[in-house]
Amino acid sequence: MLTVSNLQKTYGSGDQAVEAIRDLTLTVDKGEFVCIVGPSGAGKSTMLKCLCGLLQPSSGTVTLNGVPLNGPPKEIASVFQDYSRSLMPWFTVRRNVGLPLRNRHRSAADRAARVATALEAVGLTSFGGRYPWQLSGGMQQRVAIARGLAYAPEILLLDEPFASVDAQTRADLEDLILRVRDDTGVTMLLVTHDIDEAVYLADRVVVMSARPSVVLDTVEVDLPRPRDQVTTKQLPRFAELRAQVLTLIRRPAHHDSTPDHHSKIGERR
């Protein structure tokens, strides 16, 4: 469904040039849940911006259903880490969730129905009339997820979506996103620096090196579904997969990445 071939991205030029991504190649199949792990500054957000058409790669291609990307595609919705900056504080929850639908020229009744379904999916039906600042951080992130879902994308891109909430809320949101995936069949591409989270959620974990990033390897996650925060994480296979990803991350890349970068990624604090 989504193919990234030899993606390379350098910001600026000359003395100011920052090579964020050296060479990324990966594919995401329809309905798959792919997690991307990589150290801080590895270029994960840069990659997602290239995938949702907000940034032009310096070289390489991104194709969606066989068509090269040329600007933001209507098939993709994104959820970012910082919900406080992605929600409009002067709009109600309902209006925030319905915002991207206005550009798709849907009727008011259709928009309202989609917003209601999306709010229900994230358990916020009774909060549609509130403002974001009246909600907890975890609830605000659920609003951001609902906004992505209301858009009915083929692919949902999630950039460290649970990084700004406490551990219990994070676990709840992880389970929410798994439930949404089961209910809707939407393809998920989620970036995280948390190995446990990646293994818990994914069908496949793509491991990125430190900047300038390359794909170090891909790990197939053959854990049974439905997954559970307690029983899945107690499985010996979960520990094996976790160790496999950690070993990859600790192995220096072939280019000039430093061990310091690698130490920033790892087990949940």
Ligand X SMILES: Nc1ncnc2c1ncn2[C@@H]1O[C@H](COP(=O)(O)OP(=O)(O)OP(=O)(O)O)[C@@H](O)[C@H]1O
- Identify which of residues 20 and 76 has a Cβ nearer to ligand X in the complex: 20
How many other β-carbons are positioned within 10 Å of the β-carbon of residue 70? 9
- Identify which of residues 12 and 71 has a Cβ nearer to ligand X in the complex: 12
CB of 143 to ligand X, least distance (A): 22
CB of 233 to ligand X, least distance (A): 23
Q: Which tokens in the block code for residue 238?
A: 């979960």
State the sign of the Cα–Cα–Cα–Cα dihedral 237, 240, 246, 251. negative
Say if CB 143 and CB 91 are below 8 A apart. no
CB of 16 to ligand X, least distance (A): 8
Widest distance between CA atoms in the chain:
55
Stated as kind and residue range, the H or E segment containing 52 is none
CB of 150 to ligand X, least distance (A): 26
Q: Which of residues 1-40 bind ligand X (CB under 6 A)?
A: 11-12, 18, 20, 38, 40
CA distance 147 to 244: 35
Q: Which of residues 144-203 bind ligand X (CB under 6 A)?
A: 193
Select from 158, 184, 155, 185 the least CA-distant residue to 173: 158
CB of 64 to ligand X, least distance (A): 20
Q: Which of residues 107-126 bind ligand X (CB under 6 A)?
A: none
Residues 6 or more apart in contact with residue 207 via CB below 8 angstroms? 36, 37, 38, 215, 216, 217, 218, 219, 245, 248, 249
CB of 39 to ligand X, least distance (A): 7
Q: Using the rule CB under 6 A, is 258 a contact of ligand X? A: no
Site size toward ligand X (CB under 6 A) is 14
Q: Between vectors from CA 255 to CA 254 and to CA 258, what angle results, nearest 5°?
A: 100
CA distance 132 to 144: 10
- Identify which of residues 242 and 261 has a Cβ nearer to ligand X in the complex: 261
Q: What would the x/- binding string for ligand X be over residues 205 to 244, using CB under 6 A?
A: ------x---------------------------------
Q: Which of residues 37-96 bind ligand X (CB under 6 A)?
A: 38, 40-46
How far is Cα of residue 109 from the mean position of the Cα atoms in its chain? 30
- Identify which of residues 64 and 265 has a Cβ nearer to ligand X in the complex: 265
Q: Which residues contact ligand X by CB under 6 A?
A: 11-12, 18, 20, 38, 40-46, 193, 211
